[in-house]
Structure 1
Amino acid sequence: MGAIYLVRHGQASFGAADYDVLSELGRAQAGHAGRELRRRAVEATHARCGTLSRQRATAELALAEAAPGLAASADVRWNEYDHVDIAAHHGGGAAQNSADPRAYQHALEHALAAWIEAGAAGGCAETWPDFLARVRAVLAELVAELGKGEQAVVFTSGGVIATLCGDLLGDAAGGLLSLNRVAVNAGVSKVVTGRSGTTLLSFNEHGHFDGAAAGLLTYR
């Protein structure tokens, strides 16, 4: 049986001019996630990440701890949905505001629901059906590459992970809307593959942020 560990990126720079940069806390989270993978004795033979800066940096910092010498191959299909484009078309142009992140999250969730509802008729550069098709395809491709008993680690984003986990449970849209809001930075979800297919084993594990590491726990 093979295994794929889906790791959400560390905290990005919410409200800053360039969101797509790990904060200092995000860098610490990434390294801590790598140490957690090492503690679990994950022996990854495959490593992947998206092309976004926050994803690539998380991969570099985590793999330095978990599997020195293993580099993540970047693939745009692991990238997050375009929250700016979705907010522009379905959320009245709501922008990140570091002074009121809850209000932005609320507006984004409504925009995501409208994006899903619009389907292929949505005005975004990437519609919901397009997004769903690409994340399904990149996961299926990785599953096909895994040999018997091999493990892979993927550094991606909350929306991708929530969508895939929801899809494996039979409701991709519900997964994005319900699971994404509780995904923690540098949380770990585990998917296993075998004769019976691809199965979600765990979602959003974050016990590595308990106890002395509780100060590293963030959701946004």
Structure 2
Amino acid sequence: MGAIYLVRHGQASFGAADYDVLSERGAEQARLAGDELGRRGVRANEVCCGTLSRQRATAAEALARFAPDAVAKEDPRWNEYDHVDLAAHHGGAVTQDGAEPRAYQTALETALSAWTEAGAASPAAEPWPDFLGRVRGAFEELVARLGSGEQAVVVTSGGVIATLCGLATGDAARGLITFNRVVVNAGITKFVTGRSGTTLLSFNEHGHFEGETRRLLSYR
């Protein structure tokens, strides 16, 4: 049986001019996620990440801790939806720097719901069906490439992970909202693959942010 570990990127720079920069806290989160994967004895037969800066930096920090010889293959299909574009078309143009994290999350969920409901008719640069298609395609191709007993690590984003969990539980659009709401920075989600197909085994594991490291737990 093979396994795919989806790791959300560490905390980026919420409210800053450039959100897509891994914060110091995010780098520390990424290192702890790498330590956790090492503790589990994860074999990095394949490592992938999106092309966003926060994803690539998280992959580099994590790999240095448990698989220093591995190289992450960059694939834009693992990139997050464009939250700025979605806010402009479906969320009243709300901005991170103009809202508290909770208020922004509420506005974002409203935008995501409108985006999925609009389907191909959305004025966004990437309508929901296109996002869903690329995420599903990247995941299914990775599953097909894994050999028997092999393991893969993918560093991606909350919306991608939430969508894949939604697909696994029967409703991608609903999953995008409900899973994305609670996914933590540098949390780990595990899928297993075998003769019976691909199964979501665990979601959003973050035991590496408990006890003495609880101060590092964050959602946005």
Interval containing the TM-score (normalised by the shorter chain): over 0.9
Amino acid at match of 1:129: P
Deviations 1:79-115 (A, max 9, x none): 0001011000001111002761111111111000000
Secondary structure class of the residue paired with 1:19: coil
Residue type of the alignment partner of 1:104: Y
Deviations, residues 23-66 of structure 1 (Å, cap 9, x unaligned)? 10000000010000000000111000000000000000000001
- CA 1:98–1:7 in 2, change beyond 3 Å: closer, same or farther? farther
Structure 1 distance, partners of 2:34, 2:98, is: 28
The one-letter amino acid paired with 2:2 is G
- Where 2:46 maps in the other structure, the secondary structure is strand
- Equivalent runs, 1:66-81 vs 2, <5 Å: 66-81=66-81
Question: Counterpart amino acid of 2:217?
Answer: L
User: Partners in 2 of 1:93 and 1:19 — Cα distance?
Assistant: 16
Structure 2 counterpart of 1:175? 175
- C-alpha separation in 1, matches of 2:21 and 2:140: 28
How many Å separate the matches in 2 of 1:168 and 1:193? Answer: 12
Gaps of 5+ in 2: none
TM-aligned CA deviation for residue 21 of structure 1: 0.3
Taking structure 2 as the reference length, the TM-score comes to 0.99
1:162 pairs with 2:179: no
Structure 1 segments of 4+ aligned residues over 2 angstroms from their partners: none
- Partner in structure 1 of residue 203 of structure 2: 203
CA distance in structure 2 between the partners assigned to 1:126 and 1:50 by the alignment: 16
Counterparts in 2 of 1:106 and 1:40: CA distance versus 1, 3 Å: same
Match of 1:185, SS?
A: coil
- Where does residue 126 of structure 1 map in the other structure? 126
- Encode CA deviations 1:151-175: one digit per residue, 9 max, x unaligned: 0000000000000011011111111
Give aligned-pair identity as a percent.
71
CA distance in 1, matches of 2:128, 2:99: 29
For residues 9 and 172 of structure 1, what CA distance do their matches in structure 2 show?
21
Letter in 1 for 2:60: E
CA contact (8 A) 1:14 1:98 kept: no
**For 2:122 and 2:139, how far apart are their aligned partners in 1?**
24
| Residues 44-83 of structure 1 mapped to structure 2, 5 A cutoff | 44-83=44-83
